[in-house]
Amino acid sequence: MLNPLLANFATPFDTAPFHLIKPEHYVPAIQQSIGEAKADIAKIKEEALPTFENTIEALDRSGKRLGIINSIFFNLNSAETNEEIQKLAREISPLLTQHSNDILLDQELFQRVAQVFSHKETLRLDPEQTTLLEKTYKSFVRNGANLSSEKADDMRNIDQELAQLSLKFGENVLAETNKFVHFVSDETELEGLPDGIKEAAAQIAEEKDELGKWAFTLDYPSYVPAMTYAKNRELRKTLFQAYNTKCAKGDELDNQQTIKDILNLKYKRANLLGYSSHSDFVLEERMAKTPTEVLSFLESLLEKAKPKAEAEVKEVAAFAKELDGIETIERWDFAYYSELLKKAKYELDDEILRPYFQLEKVIEGVFLTTQKLYGLQFIPNKDIPVYHPEVTAYEVRDRNGKHVSIFYADFFPRAGKRNGAWMTSYRGQSLENGEDHRPHISIVCNFTKPTKTKPSLLTFNEVTTLFHEFGHALHGMLAKGTYESLTGTSVYWDFVELPSQIFENWCYEKECLDLFAQHYQTGEKIPSELIDKIKKAANFQQGYMTVRQISFGLLDMAFHSRNPETIESIAAFEREIMKRTDLLPKVPGMLMSTSFSHIFQGGYSSGYYSYKWAEVLDADAFELFQEKGVFDPETAEAFQKNILSAGGSEHPSILYARFRGRAPKQEALLKRAGLLQP
């Protein structure tokens, strides 16, 4: 029987044939495509004289089929996994790591790359070609090409172990999330919860064969509303403790030793390459070039944000005491009383806003916003295979009807989907032999599900999350370059959040909200006074949220910028690092590191600071849109050309200055967050 992963995809736009793929297809397909990629490399080495075209370009274009199969498999391992897929991941990951090392530690291949690199000044390359040459050469050096054979073997072993440990970390977090469910039998214990949330909880219980009860899980659409609205303090405490002790209970899902192993291996790897820490290694290829620069940036923000954050916490504590006689506000109290305080101060809460944010309308609003800015049209296409019935596939066209991209949207929590929200791609964009291979882009979220009586009604935070991930998607969809490794989101890690975070800004603009925010029952547009309240409440607890983000960035840097052998206890280390940013009483047993997937499973190790770094860029960039008009076509065209379409073709500081006319300034962020007087 023909393996669909190894055949030409007989699907619209060569999209992944999800409907034909079975688990048993993956390993044979990856093994064969690794063989094909090796043949590509062998052909490069057979060329007599190394040139940019026959070595650097050819290397970038090698292993295309392997890249596509790899994307399909690991994307599904995040969005639609099961025990069989996870077992396959543990088998496949070493194959891919070994193949990558076989390329990057191939001395004959490296010598060809080095020879081209040594003549770069005489090659008359354009900026994109220059970037590709430099990136290719550095990727070899930064992955051990200059190591002795003995040390190269050490590198191989480290990379194999790291790949397995990263998978194990993520599997444990998903298993722990799926494992927890809390049932409530007495409806009086649900006081404060909106009807829609109670209905959703009853639906979860029913799905688990517990009729007449309400169930709460650690999925965001269940956990966050319960923490925000449940008057029952014990319910909040139970959920908080479950959420914040994930993979830290000393059982088979505990991630503490896994973290130590990951940290030690990253440190050894960095040392092998001549770096004093993993952070030094990572930051060499970032806008913030050193740990010192990152820490200086975070400390500068902390100095401005902490006094405001402390005042905000005191305000909530005083409000809780006045309202309910709470003597000590605990961590499981903060979201609840903050929401009540916001409602008291601004006459605004998520339940007032939810009816205006029906998911289908918000999606339509995202599409309309994108159309007004960049001329894109989204056409649902049921002929494009999807990996789950809840996924919708769209063809994306430009204002002239020309094909731009494929876009997949996947919005609701499932047992096989990890928590959070992310953008990914199944195929990148590239230009080869005059043919523009357009990208296949996906966003995956965990939003409030529809119930039997209500459609999916989003919180305002979920609305901004959708815009955020769609900003990443635009970065992928509008890619316009030659080399796949430089297009779309293939940019410096502390630059990649600019397109996503700037897109959130439109959620606060009347011109944008008027496009889609209408009551799901009456069709009434969101009232102007509610939009004014959204704007006024935008700075609510910005100090607290800034300090919270900084705390994660500091913990990330602390883990990765020193010798981890000195870390005896992950829990004690976390407490020590975060005590400067702790604004609420510490909870015994609380440990967030063991589910800190961004840095131990994703690509954010020594990079969590980039969220705040990119906020400086997005606030500064959006200030130009505000000056010219949020839908100003010239500004949108400049942003598309120099940021969204440019990918990683040049250094981000060059691209940003080309768009903005200057380097970014921090003042716009401080002003927006209320940390600087206007």
Tell me: the pLDDT tens digits for 451-478? 999 999 999 999 999 999 999 999 999 9
Q: Could you read off the pLDDT of 321-348 as tens digits, one per residue? A: 999 999 999 999 999 999 999 999 999 9
Considering 80, 469, 509, 615, which one is annotated as catalytic?
469
- Site of tokens 């999209």: 15
Range 368-397 average pLDDT: 98
Range 36-54 average pLDDT: 96
Question: Is it the case that residue 614 has pLDDT exceeding 90?
Answer: yes
- Kindly indicate the confidence band of residue 675, based on its pLDDT and cuts at 50, 70 and 90: confident
Count helices and strands in the chain by DSSP H and E runs: 27, 9
Residues, the chain, total?
Answer: 678
Burial of residue 198 (number of CB atoms within 10 Å: 0-12, 13-18, 19+): middle
- Rounded CA-CA distance 60/52 in Å is 11
Domains and CATH numbers, the chain: 12-104+106-142 (1.20.1050.40), 180-243 (no CATH)
Confidence at residue 45, expressed as pLDDT on a 0 to 100 scale: 97
| Helix, strand or coil, per DSSP, at residue 181 | coil
Phi, psi (degrees; rounded to nearest 5) at 183: -100, 140
Output the pTM of the full model: 0.94
- Rounded CA-CA distance 19/21 in Å is 6
- Site of tokens 């990136």: 135
Q: Could you read off the pLDDT of 349-367 as tens digits, one per residue? A: 889 999 999 999 999 999 9
Contacts 24+ apart (CB under 8 A), 1-9: 3/28, 3/29, 3/32, 5/29, 5/33, 5/69, 5/72, 6/32, 6/33, 6/65
Q: Could you tell me which residues come within 8 angstroms of residue 641 by beta carbon, excluding any fewer than 6 positions away? A: none
Burial of residue 571 (number of CB atoms within 10 Å: 0-12, 13-18, 19+): middle
- Kindly indicate the confidence band of residue 188, based on its pLDDT and cuts at 50, 70 and 90: very high
- Kindly indicate the confidence band of residue 676, based on its pLDDT and cuts at 50, 70 and 90: confident
Cβ proximity of 113 and 56 under 8 Å:
yes
Question: Is it the case that residue 677 has pLDDT exceeding 90?
Answer: no
Q: Which parts of 434-545 are beta strand (E)? A: 435-437, 440-444
Longest dimension (CA), the chain: 82
Structure tokens at 352: 């007032």
Structure tokens at 98: 């070994």
Cβ proximity of 66 and 27 under 8 Å:
no
Confidence at residue 1, expressed as pLDDT on a 0 to 100 scale: 67
Nearest to 105 by CA among 66, 163, 154: 154
- Kindly indicate the confidence band of residue 678, based on its pLDDT and cuts at 50, 70 and 90: very low
pLDDT above 90 covers what percent of the chain? 97
469 in catalytic set: yes
Averaged pLDDT score across all residues of the chain: 96
Nearest to 620 by CA among 666, 588, 553: 666
Q: Could you tell me which residues come within 8 angstroms of residue 23 by beta carbon, excluding any fewer than 6 positions away? A: 84, 85, 88
Cα separation values, 647 from 63, 425, 480, Å: 21, 14, 8
Cβ proximity of 459 and 357 under 8 Å:
yes
Cβ proximity of 478 and 374 under 8 Å:
yes
Confidence at residue 69, expressed as pLDDT on a 0 to 100 scale: 98
Confidence at residue 386, expressed as pLDDT on a 0 to 100 scale: 98
Bridge partner residues of 380 (DSSP): 394
Q: Could you read off the pLDDT of 530-544 as tens digits, one per residue? A: 999 999 999 999 999
